[in-house]
Amino acid sequence: AIKVTPDEVEITEEQVEEALEGLRHSQAYWQPAERPCRLDDIVVLDIRGEVEGEPLFDEKERWYRLTSEATWPAPGFVQQVLGMNKGEGKEFVLPLPADFPESQFAGKECHFKVFLHEVKEENIPELNDDFAKSLDWEVNSLEELRGKMKARLRERAEQEAKSKLEREVLEALVGFSEVEFPPILVEMEIDQLIGEELRRRGWPSLEDFLRNLGKSEEELREELRPLAEERLTRSLVLGKVAEQENIRVGESEIEAEIERLSASAGERREELRQLLSSRGRESIRNELLTRKTLERLVEIALKEEPEGPAEQTSEN
């Protein structure tokens, strides 16, 4: 049996106000400021840096956000720029960090020359009814906007709690399930993981990818083996649960998901819909089957006297 406790979802007024503040900043625009630059400004800089006479940085009119967390091009750079005015130049020396990406320069002093072309400050709209109506939220007042924001935050938090619960249920089920599979399936899963990583990072070939990592193919495969075994185990367990619970995905469900996914494509909606219909149906079917199976597992686990699929297996 699987026993889990769902997290309670509560949205505070502080969370709503923080989200509204973020919304204000997302609608801000940057305007020229005729004053010395300060934290959170954007400055337009020429940046030149040399290490032992060798050029390292050469940026022209780079837009640079002055934040206390910024460490590029070197820690302390922001503090040197703060207070500069439009049209002003400055020279200073900063040590490069020990973990600098180009190791031959790590820990060495860099001689910087900067020239400030412009200072820009953030113009943030006032939080009022006019601001609320200017958004594409279909509200007519700030109070309505607060209400919608709270509802969105709750929906997001509930989805996160649901995903967390599904992970916990699946991990518990996998923990007491005995799954055996032939080694060839693990190798195939490793192949799948490598292919996903190549596509995600945009590498044209495995050889180029390995060269960048500084690893052999055997080393990479051994590194990915635990993840491959974990994914394979979860997939087989979910497949068994779907079989025992007689969970199916109908064509109408696939069509509805295709419509949902293509709805956000704008002018390319029909093109994406046709692509998903012709090439993505099996992938969508598997995704929906996984989703429905996890939902069923949670439903079982939340019963007062839960009966997990593993128990059903022993009875059968």
pLDDT at residue number 300: 87
Q: pLDDT for 90-135, tens place per residue?
A: 999 999 999 998 889 999 999 999 999 999 999 999 999 999 999 9
For residue 307, pLDDT beyond 80: no
pLDDT in tens, 4-30: 788 889 999 999 999 999 999 999 999
Which are the contacts of 49, defined by CB distance < 8 A and separation ≥ 6?
55, 56, 57, 58, 73, 74, 110, 111, 112, 113
Q: What is the pLDDT of residue 201?
A: 87
Q: Cβ-count burial of 95 within 10 angstroms (0-12 exposed, 13-18 middle, 19+ buried)? A: middle
CA pair distance 190, 198, nearest whole angstrom = 12
Mean pLDDT of 260-279: 87
This prediction has a pTM of: 0.67
Percent of the chain scoring above 90 in pLDDT: 74
Query: What's the one-letter identity of residue 138?
Result: E
Q: What is the CATH code for 159-315?
A: 1.10.3120.10
Is 314 a residue whose pLDDT tops 60? no
The architecture of the domain spanning 29-123 is: Roll (3.10)
Domain parsing of the chain, residue ranges: 29-123, 159-315
Q: For residue range 164-175, what is the model confidence (pLDDT) as tens digits? A: 999 999 988 888
Cβ atoms 93, 108 nearer than 8 A: no
Tokens 């769902």, located at residue: 6
pLDDT the model gives residue 278:
86
Average pLDDT over every residue of 46-59: 96
Assigned token pair, 33: 């400021």
Residues 6 or more apart whose Cβ sits within 8 Å of residue 270: 262
H or E element in which residue 118 lies: strand 109-123
Considering the chain, what is the average pLDDT of its residues? 91
More confident: 298 or 118? 118
